[in-house]
Amino acid sequence: MDIKESQTVRNTLLQEIGKCRACRFCIDVCPAYQASEWVENMSPYGRLQILKYLINGTLDEDDPLIYSIYSCLQCGRCDRLCQAKGQNLDVSHLIRLGKYLLSQGLVKGSKNEKV
Amino acid sequence: MDVNVSKLTKDLGKIVGKDHVRADKPTAVVYAKDVMPWDLEEKNIPYAVVRPLNSKEISKILKYANEKLIPVHIHGSGTSLVGLARPKTKGIVLDTARMKKITAYPERGYFEAEPGLHVAQVRKELAKYNAMLPVFPGSELVATIGGTVAVNTSAHAVDAALGKPGDFVLGFEVVLPTGEIIQTGTESTRRPAGIDPTKIFIGSEGLLGVLTLIRMRLIPLPYFEHIVAYYNTTEDILDAVMAMYKQGIHPPLFFEYLDERAAKIGFEAVGLDEPIGAVAMMRVHSWSKVGSEDKAQKFLEFLKTGNPIEARIIKDTEEWNSIWSSRAEAGNYMYRLGTTFGSEISPRVDKLKDAFQEAKSIVTNLESYKDAEFISFGHIGAPTIHAYAFIPTKDISNDMKKAITLEMREKTEDLNIKYGGCGGEWGLTAQRVSFLKKKYEKEVYEVLVKMKKALDPNDILNRGNLQGWI
């Protein structure tokens, strides 16, 4: 992914995550959230917030952040929930894009060139 | 305040176990973020999130916080719409998510639940005992029972038909802000007469203590019947509500409305044909099948004395489910189409129409944003009007979001004051200290501050919510 492409991905993520209403309906259906004994940053909602604050510079890349994002199993339950009760976001796709961005080490202000 | 976060984490870890305290920033931002439309600021982001298992651990956390003078913000699921869930200062977030036990005692006539259970989970558990949970928030999939009782929100239920959740609370276990664990109320189904500390904690919004066990009456599940009524305009629905109270008609358990615009959005969202005008929907309840049918029939006859295009009882569950879900989906879909800024207006019933017209005027004449569209829905039988400023874009700056939110808040507060109401659903203190000061004599706010100081001398719990910080 070159710089231009990473910018496009960042913009897409910010735009799409901006649609999240923080209703938190998606958290209960997430198997990683359940397995973590209900820690909200191990939920779809939590991962979207982390990605937003990572891209806007509030957060730096660090191990807990990467752990939260990578705890997504891509099962897609949150997508169904968001489609039915929320804002119709393709949540698991956005998290996948976030993982891709992280893995390229192209997040602005990143301390880790390669994750 | 100078806090050594690694020492704090270590100390809290000794109380709850190191797996249940997190001081990393990703966790901190997730727990600080709530539904308020503007972004977090550094002051909102906590030092650590701690996840206790029981009242003993909470007691130790609060004693520790008092010793170190670190604020503690209680977190259920963070679904409060008006800022209650967002920490106003740096501190410790106390998450109740691990406290999820529930036990029903049918032979004693009550159940006991820990605060971290989601409302829908409680409802599911009570269904085994053919019992009804008297709490109906739109966010019941995720809102916690602890938060619901701590706010004492009626949500969909019409107060005059059922009462508020607090009316069914028999007692609590509470951890006081200074760490003492106390029991309140009774184990009998007979609630105490006279002074009962239980009542102080109902609706206390986490300012006076942490609710760690909630004892509520088991209510045998009633029979329900459903009615839908279509009107040319929202004003016709307001007339029906005003007439209902004036004539002394028994109010239904739910009495919701969608205005002309919200009805179109909601009905389209669930795949129903577009209605001509505004829509009202009601659920009546009674303890017998015959009783509920009779009540529905009588309420239908009453509605027909008004001016509906059509009003009928719905027997088909599937049809009712899609009409009822159009009410919930209207809010969701509005947000999908743009950005919304809500309000809660609960006027004196005889002033309902005046309040509605003025709410409309507030939205269409906003100073912080020109050309906002007025859309409204809500629990009109209660009566609650949710007046929304709808802006058909997501592309609004953070500062603009804050300005619109604050202008809507201030102007709708004035409307509640003008027409004798004060809101009955979203909780008062976190955002509305200015409202309390404007509406009541200054002594009223002073009493609240004294009460807080008596129980929480170091202002540890939910600091900033009673000061009106945003």
* pTM (predicted TM-score): 0.93
Q: Which of A56, A64, A87 sits opposite B26 (nearest CB)?
A: A64
Q: Report whether B203 contacts B152 (CB < 8 A).
A: yes
**Cα–Cα–Cα angle for B215, B199, B283, rounded to 5 degrees:** 70
Put simply, the answer to whether A59 touches B29 (Cβ < 8 Å) is: yes
Q: Do B97 and A39 touch (CB under 8 A)?
A: yes
| CATH numbers and ranges of domains, chain B | 1-221+440-470 (3.30.465.10), 223-418 (3.40.462.40)
Contact between B299 and B288 (Cβ < 8 Å): no
**Looking at residues A42-54, what average pLDDT do you find?**
94
- Decide if B141 and A28 are in contact by the 8 Å CB cutoff: yes
Residue A109: predicted pLDDT: 56
What digits encode the pLDDT tens for the residues B344-399?
A: 999 999 999 999 999 999 999 999 999 999 999 999 999 999 999 999 998 899 99
Q: Any idea what DSSP says for residue B272?
A: P
* A98 vs A50: CA distance, rounded Å: 10
Instruction: Supply the Cα-derived Rg of chain A in whole angstroms.
Output: 13
Residue B139 at interface with chain A, using a CB cutoff of 8 Å: yes
Q: B394 vs A19: CB contact, 8 Å cut-off?
A: yes
Domain segments of chain A as ranges = 3-103
Residue B165 has a pLDDT of 95
Amino acid at site B34: D
pLDDT tens digit string along B137-196?
989 999 999 999 999 998 899 999 999 999 999 999 999 999 999 999 999 999 999 999
Return the closest-CA partner of residue B281 out of B250, B305, B309, B312.
B312
Percent of chain B with pLDDT over 70: 99
The answer to whether residue A110 scores a pLDDT higher than 80 is no
Q: Is the backbone of residue B205 left (phi > 0), alpha (psi -120 to 50) or beta? A: left
pLDDT confidence bin for A60, thresholds 50/70/90 = confident
Residue B30 tokens, joined: 């997730």
Over range B70-80, report the average pLDDT: 94
Q: Give the mean pLDDT of chain B.
A: 95
In three-state secondary structure terms, B124 is helix
pLDDT at B326 over 50: yes
How far is it, in rounded angstroms, from Cα B192 to Cα B195?
Answer: 8
Tell me the DSSP string of B182-251.
EE-S-SSSSPPPS--HHHHHTT-TTSS-EEEEEEEE-EE--EEEEEEEEESSHHHHHHHHHHHHHTTPPP
d(CA B399, CA B405): 10
% chain B with pLDDT above 90: 87
pLDDT of residue A61: 79
Model confidence at B288: pLDDT above 90: yes
Give me the DSSP letters along B148-191: HHHHT--BTB-HHHH--GGGGEEEEEEE-TTS-EEE-S-SSSSP
Look-up of token digits 């202002």: B459
Give the separation between CA B340 and CA B390, rounded to whole angstroms.
5
Quote the CA–CA distance of B144 and A97 in Å, as a whole number.
Answer: 32
pLDDT of B207 higher than 90: yes
Q: How far is A74 from chain B (nearest CA, A)?
A: 20
* Cβ-defined contact of B25 to A60 (cutoff 8 Å): yes
Q: Per the CB < 8 Å rule, is A45 touching B335?
A: no
CA B106 to chain centre: 28
User: Quick one: B398 exposed, middle or buried, by C-beta within 10 A (0-12, 13-18, 19+)?
Assistant: exposed
Burial of residue A111 (number of CB atoms within 10 Å: 0-12, 13-18, 19+) = exposed
- At A7 the pLDDT is 86
Nearest to A24 among B22, B79, B332 (CB): B79
Tokens 């912080």: give the residue: B368
pLDDT grade for A1, boundaries at 50, 70 and 90: low
Alpha carbons B226 and B312: distance in angstroms, whole number:
9
pLDDT at B465: 92
Band of pLDDT at residue A62, cut at 50, 70 and 90? confident
Give me the pLDDT at residue A57, please. Answer: 85
Where does residue B287 rank: exposed (0-12), middle (13-18), buried (19+ CB within 10 A)?
Answer: exposed
Please tell me whether the peptide bond between B383 and the residue prior to it is cis, using omega within 30 degrees of 0.
yes
Rounded CA-CA distance B143/B35 in Å is 13
A114 confidence band (pLDDT: 50, 70, 90): very low
Which of B34-38, B134-138, B174-178 shows the lowest per-residue confidence on average (mean pLDDT)?
Answer: B34-38
Under the banding of pLDDT at 50, 70 and 90, the label for residue A108 is low
- Judge whether B29 is closer than 8 Å to chain A, CB to CB: yes
Within 83-112 of A, beta carbons closer than 8 Å to B belong to 85-88
List of long-range contacts for B337-340, beta carbons under 8 Å, 24+ apart: B337/B265, B337/B390, B337/B392, B338/B390, B338/B391, B338/B392, B338/B393, B338/B394, B339/B37, B339/B390, B339/B391, B339/B393, B339/B394, B339/B396, B339/B401, B340/B375, B340/B388, B340/B389, B340/B390, B340/B391
Q: What is the mean pLDDT of residues A67-80?
A: 94
Are the C-beta atoms of B282 and B254 separated by less than 8 Å?
yes
Q: Over 90: is that where the pLDDT of A59 sits?
A: no
Q: Which ipTM was obtained for this model?
A: 0.87
Give dist(CA B392, CA B335) in Å, integer. 9
Q: Does A19 touch chain B (CB under 8 A)?
A: yes
Question: Residue B278 pairs with which residues in a beta bridge?
Answer: B231
Instruction: Using an 8 Å CB-CB cutoff, list chain A residues near B39.
Output: 56
- Specify whether the CB–CB gap between B416 and B439 falls below 8 A: yes
Confidence category of residue B39, pLDDT binned at 50, 70, 90:
confident
Give the span between the Cα atoms of B343 and B324, in whole angstroms. 21
Q: Is the CB of residue B336 less than 8 Å from the CB of residue A19?
A: yes
* Mean pLDDT value across residues B435-458: 94
Band of residue A111 on the pLDDT scale cut at 50, 70, 90: low
Please choose, from the candidates B196, B187, B188, the residue with its C-alpha nearest in 3D space to the C-alpha of residue B166: B196
| Structure confidence at residue A105 (pLDDT) | 66
For B100-121, write each residue's pLDDT tens digit: 999 999 999 999 999 999 999 9
Among A18, A22, A68, the residue with its CB nearest the CB of B35 is: A22
